[in-house]
Amino acid sequence: MLNIDSLQKGIVIDHIKAGTSMKLYELLDLDKLDCCVAVIKNAKSSKYGKKDIIKIDGTIDINLDILGFIDHEITIDIINDGKIIEKKKLVLPKTVKNVIKCKNPRCITSGEEGIEHIFQLCDSEHHRYRCIYCEQEFQA
Amino acid sequence: MRSLIDPLDLSVSEIDELLNLADNIAADPKAYSSVCAGKKLATLFYEPSTRTRLSFEAAMLNMGGSVLGFSTAASSSASKGESVADTIRTVSCYADICAMRHPKEGAPLRAAKYSKIPVINAGDGGHQHPTQTLTDLMTIRAKKNRLGDLTIGLCGDLKFGRTVHSLIKSLVRYEGIHFVLISPEELRVPDYIVEEVLKAKNVSFEEVENLEKVISKLDILYMTRVQRERFFNEEDYVRLKDSYILTTEKMRNAKPDMAILHPLPRVNEIALEVDDDPRAAYFEQVQNGVYVRMALIMKLLEVENA
Q: Does residue A119 share a domain with residue A58?
A: no
Q: In A, which residues are within 8 Å of B109 by CB distance?
A: 108, 132-133
Catalytic site residue from B39, B43, B52, B159:
B52
Residue A2 has pLDDT above 60, yes or no: no
Is there a domain that residue A140 lies in? Answer: no
Q: Does residue A105 share a domain with residue A59?
A: no
Domain harbouring A65, CATH code: 3.30.70.140
Please write the tens of the pLDDT for every residue from B6-44: 999 999 999 999 999 999 999 999 999 999 999 999 999
Is there a domain that residue A3 lies in? Answer: no
What pLDDT is stored for residue A3 in this prediction? Answer: 59
ipTM tops 0.90: no
CB contact under 8 A, B109 and A114: no
Residue span of the structural domain in which A21 resides: 10-88
- Nearest CA to A40 out of A58, A22, A65 is that of A22
Q: Does residue A84 share a domain with residue A22?
A: yes
- Give me the percent of chain B exceeding a pLDDT of 70: 98
Q: Does residue A107 share a domain with residue A69?
A: no
User: What mean pLDDT do residues B169-174 have?
Assistant: 95
Q: In B, which residues are within 8 Å of A137 by CB distance?
A: 192
Q: Does residue A58 share a domain with residue A25?
A: yes
Closest residue in B to A107 (Cα–Cα): B105
Please write the tens of the pLDDT for every residue from B80-130: 778 999 999 999 999 999 999 999 999 999 999 999 999 999 999 888 899
The Cβ-side half-sphere exposure at B195, using a 13 Å CA radius, reads 9
Q: Does residue A82 share a domain with residue A104?
A: no
Is there a domain that residue A47 lies in? Answer: yes
Residue B199 has pLDDT above 60, yes or no: yes
Contacts of B94 (CB under 8 A, 6+ apart): B40, B42, B68
Q: Does residue A82 share a domain with residue A99?
A: no
Q: Does residue A51 share a domain with residue A15?
A: yes
Please write the tens of the pLDDT for every residue from B283-306: 999 999 999 999 999 999 999 876
- Nearest CA to B47 out of B189, B289, B227, B168 is that of B227
Q: Does residue A79 share a domain with residue A14?
A: yes
Q: Does residue A101 share a domain with residue A79?
A: no
Average pLDDT, chain B: 93
Instruction: Indicate the number of domains in chain A.
Output: 2
Residue B78 has pLDDT above 90, yes or no: no
A104 touches chain B (CB under 8 A): yes
Give, for A44, the enclosing helix (H) or strand (E). Answer: strand A37-45
Is there a domain that residue A74 lies in? Answer: yes
Looking at residue B38, its amino acid is G
b/e map B246-261, b = 16+ CB within 10 Å: beeebbeebeeebbbb
Q: Does residue A99 share a domain with residue A116?
A: yes
Is there a domain that residue A64 lies in? Answer: yes
Residue B173 has pLDDT above 70, yes or no: yes
Is there a domain that residue A23 lies in? Answer: yes
CB A18 within 8 A of CB A42: yes
Active-site residue flag, B102? no
What pLDDT is stored for residue A4 in this prediction? Answer: 65
Q: Does residue A104 share a domain with residue A81?
A: no
Give strand pairing partners of A88: A76
Residue B240 has pLDDT above 60, yes or no: yes
What pLDDT is stored for residue B177 in this prediction? Answer: 98
Interface test with A, best of B8, B105, B121, B229 (most A CBs within 10 A): B105
A97 touches chain B (CB under 8 A): no
**Which domains, and CATH codes, for chain B?**
7-128+288-300 (3.40.50.1370), 130-286 (3.40.50.1370)
Is there a domain that residue A38 lies in? Answer: yes
Most confident stretch, B62-66, B193-197, B228-232, B239-243: B62-66
Is there a domain that residue A53 lies in? Answer: yes
